Amino acid sequence: MRLSSNISQVHQNITGNVDLKDTSSMEQGLKNGMEVIQGKSPGQSITGEVILREGNDILLELGKNQLLQAKLEGGMTPQTGQLLSFQIKNSSSTKVVLMPLFENLSQDPNVSKALLAAGLPENSITTGMVKAMMQEGLPIDRQSLYQMNRYINANPQVDIQTLVQMQRLSLPVTPENIMQFEAYKNYQHQMSESLTDIVDAFSQTFQEITGSGNQQEGIDFYKEILGMLTEELSTTGAEESSQTPEQRGVNFASAEGGNGVLAEEALLPQKEMDALVEQLKKAGVPDKLTNAVADGKITRKEFLQEINRLLSQETLPDKEALFKLLEGKEFKHLLKNEMSKQWMMQPEEVAKEHSVDKLYEKLNSQMNRLNELLTQTGRAATPLGRAVSNVTGNIDFMNQLNQMFTYVQLPLKMQSQNTNGDLFVYTNKKSLAKKDGSVSALLHLDMEHLGSLDVYVALNNQKVSTKFYLADDSALDLIMQNINILNERLESRGYSMSAEFVNRDEKTNVMDEILKQGKNVSVLSGYSFDARA
């Protein structure tokens, strides 16, 4: 078969993995295809899509950038576009002879009938689409096939299974949702990591602004950020920017513990605190504020509010020194701590009613403000802009999931690390409880020392059954040795608990757990968690 004489026809039939207009690309594809064959013995099988057939000569596409030219025996007359399986009868460096196998991927009568009834061509893409829809329990009527075919044509680079699974979960097929869905499937969805990216990228963006000479833009940028973080302290808006701390109700010695401030509200470790005080003095910050910092009599939030007030004054203290303060590692550390405090949850906070809702209400509000600010300043494409966009997309995607399932991410601030938790409640069609009255849930955590931790919990009346899955034996032993603490706390609330401990290497993917649930899922009335509340 002379491929060069049929190049236009071949190009029309090829699925796009090889550019046959490029002779070198085609030669490379044929070379790659022969390498596939050389790795197999006579009698073994291969699968490929028919690109071109002339008599007994056939051209197959085996995979990405893999073409195979072969002789076909057996009397079968395959059509271009069909996905077929063949047995290797003979092969050499110059000639390959194939025998068709009749248990081909496209020979499922249900697949062929469905495509014929819908008037769609039978090829590798449409065949894979129907099979994926059947596996996910979706209908394969004419309308459903047309709709899915439109999704595939509109998103040619997206895995067909992804599109089918999104359709099964009733998730709108948008570029943003596709990105989030695949991130969840690949375990790249952790909210805590995205929030950390924002904190790290913030200082970089500020330095880019001031480094380009836009000092006023840098000041305005910081004012927006600090105003966002301290808005709960502000009650009278811009009017209070000219007032003294005492007039605005800031009591530098109001908190107790340590040197006057609660330990978790302490600005910085002592060494960094000393450096920060020196920077404040050089920047001409009022003594009242500088002394409050030195004596540890001001919280992080109050301090940031005071800095914001200084930036709002028409006449700033030493501007250059003030910029050095804002760009210094001590101030960055302080700002990072406050962001983490506001965007992460302490483990004990999770149990408080509506605490998760309030966290996501704040996150959604602040991320929208950040996104608007970055868009207005033309910095939406920066690392900070992308990180903010990812968080807002994640929250929106989570909210859509909660139209069908009860699931939430828990960005957690532990004693020595920030980590991410996933809480998924196994639900049936209409309620949280199963027919026997029980409720079950999965809590997944990634811990620095314990590693990947999965806790399956089942509640039936007042009986709690738990299974702990960890990959590390020492971590498993640690949990076993301290399980009595959890048992005692549950007993004090009227529950009885049984626990099992299992060593397991693989990490749980919550999206896989969601996809394992019933094929026909109804909306959970009254139990949906709205991450954008």
Residue 279 resides in a domain: yes
Q: CA dist 431 to 109, 341, 439, 465, Å?
A: 38, 34, 10, 20
* Of residues 160 and 254, more confidently modeled: 160
Q: Are residues 126 and 255 in the same domain?
A: no
Residue 406 resides in a domain: no
What per-residue confidence (pLDDT) applies to 517? 76
Residue 452 resides in a domain: no
Cβ atoms 374, 388 nearer than 8 A: yes
pLDDT tier at 353 (50, 70, 90 boundaries)? confident
> Counting beta carbons within 10 angstroms of the beta carbon of residue 68, is it exposed (0 to 12), middle (13 to 18) or buried (19 or more)?
buried
Residue 395 resides in a domain: no
Q: Which of 318, 349, 380 is the last residue of a domain?
A: 349
Q: Are residues 196 and 326 in the same domain?
A: yes
SS3 label, residue 418: strand
Give the other-Cβ count within 10 Å of 31's Cβ: 12
Place of tokens 């993917």: 509
Q: Are residues 133 and 265 in the same domain?
A: no
pLDDT tier at 264 (50, 70, 90 boundaries)? low
Residue 58 resides in a domain: yes
Rounded CA-CA distance 156/16 in Å is 10
Cβ atoms 107, 134 nearer than 8 A: no
The number of domains in the chain is: 3
Whether the pTM exceeds 0.75: the reply is no
What per-residue confidence (pLDDT) applies to 321? 83
pLDDT tier at 314 (50, 70, 90 boundaries)? confident
Q: Are residues 114 and 214 in the same domain?
A: no
Q: Are residues 209 and 309 in the same domain?
A: yes
CATH number at residue 40: 2.40.50.140
Question: DSSP label at 3?
Answer: G
Q: Are residues 211 and 305 in the same domain?
A: yes
Residue 370 resides in a domain: no
Q: Are residues 132 and 77 in the same domain?
A: no
* Confidence check: pLDDT of 247 > 60: no
Residue 173 resides in a domain: no
> Counting beta carbons within 10 angstroms of the beta carbon of residue 370, is it exposed (0 to 12), middle (13 to 18) or buried (19 or more)?
buried
Residue 288 resides in a domain: yes
Phi, psi angles (nearest 5°) of residue 58: -140, 145
Q: Are residues 283 and 241 in the same domain?
A: yes
pLDDT tier at 360 (50, 70, 90 boundaries)? very high
- 46 is written with which tokens? 């291969």
Q: Are residues 337 and 196 in the same domain?
A: yes
Cβ atoms 124, 16 nearer than 8 A: no
- 48 is written with which tokens? 């490929």
Q: Are residues 264 and 326 in the same domain?
A: yes
Could you list the residue range(s) of the whole structural domain that residue 114 is in? Answer: 108-168
Q: Are residues 229 and 324 in the same domain?
A: yes
- 251 is written with which tokens? 């009591």
* Confidence check: pLDDT of 8 > 80: no
Q: Which of 297, 330, 349 is the last residue of a domain?
A: 349
Q: Are residues 298 and 253 in the same domain?
A: yes
Rounded CA-CA distance 501/422 in Å is 20
